[in-house]
Amino acid sequence: MTTAVMDNHHEHHDTGDNYVFGFWIYIMSDCILFATIFATYAVLYQGTFGGPGANELASIPFVFVETMLLLTSSFTYGLAMLSIYKGDKSRAISLIIITFILGATFICMELTEFSHLIHEGNSWQRSAFLSAFFTLVGTHGLHVVFGLIWMLLLVTQLSIHGITPVTKTKLSCLGLFWHFLDIVWIFVFSIVYLMGVILK
C-alpha cells in the first residue's frame, strides 16, 4: 500500500455526513442534559428562601441585548458556513471571528450579571432557586465558552490547512453546536427571565 492510499483511507473516516450525524447524536444527548437541568429549575424556582426571585434577576433590556447577540452570532456563523462551501476562506474566517466577538460579548454580559449577584450575597448557596438558576444559566454559559475556544482553534486550523473535507466537517460540527446553544438560550430567556417577570 502506498502512503497516498493510506492517507485517503484515514481521511475518509474523518469526514462526511456520518461524522456530522454522529455529532448530531451527541447534540441530542446534550438536549437531555439541559432538559434535566430545566426540570430541576422548574421544580425549585419558587424556593427563594427569602432571597431574590426570578423577577429580580437582570433587567429585560439587558437580557434582550444578550439574546440579540447570540441570535446574530448564529446568523453570522451560518453565513460563514456558506462562504466555506463557496470556497471563500478569508470571508469565512472574518465571519467566524465576528461570531466569536458576539459570543464573547454575550459571555462578558453574563459574567457581569453573575458577579453582581454574587457580590450582593446572592450566589448559588443562597437558595434552592439560585442554585438551580446558576446551574442552568452557568451550564449554558460554559457550553458557549467551549464553543468560543473551539472557534479559535478552528480558525487557526483553517488558516493553516485551508478548506479541506476535514476542516469542513469540523466546521459543520461547530455549526451544529453553536446553533444548538442559541436554541437552548431561547428556552433560558423565555422560562427563566421572561416567565420570572410574568409569574411574580
| Amino acid occupying residue 127 | S
Position 180 contacts another protein (CB under 8 A):
yes
Contact segment (CB under 8 A) with another protein among 96-104, 111-119, 125-133, 179-187 equals 179-187
Position 86 contacts another protein (CB under 8 A):
yes
Query: Measured between alpha carbons, how far is residue 94 from residues 30, 140, 145, 146, 153 in Å?
Result: 29, 25, 19, 20, 14
Q: Are 34 and 139 in contact (CB under 8 A)?
A: yes
Q: Are 168 and 15 in contact (CB under 8 A)?
A: yes
CB atoms within 10 A of CB 167: 19
The residue assigned the cell 447577540 is 69
| Amino acid occupying residue 4 | A
CB of 121 to another protein, least distance (A): 27
Nearer to another protein by Cβ, of 111 and 186: the residue is 186
Nearer to another protein by Cβ, of 145 and 168: the residue is 168
Binding positions for another protein, rule: CB under 8 A? 4, 8, 15-17, 20-21, 24-25, 28, 31-32, 35-36, 38-40, 42-43, 60, 63-64, 67-68, 71-72, 74-75, 78-79, 81-82, 85-87, 165, 168-169, 172, 176, 179-180, 182-183, 186-187, 190-191, 194-195, 197-199
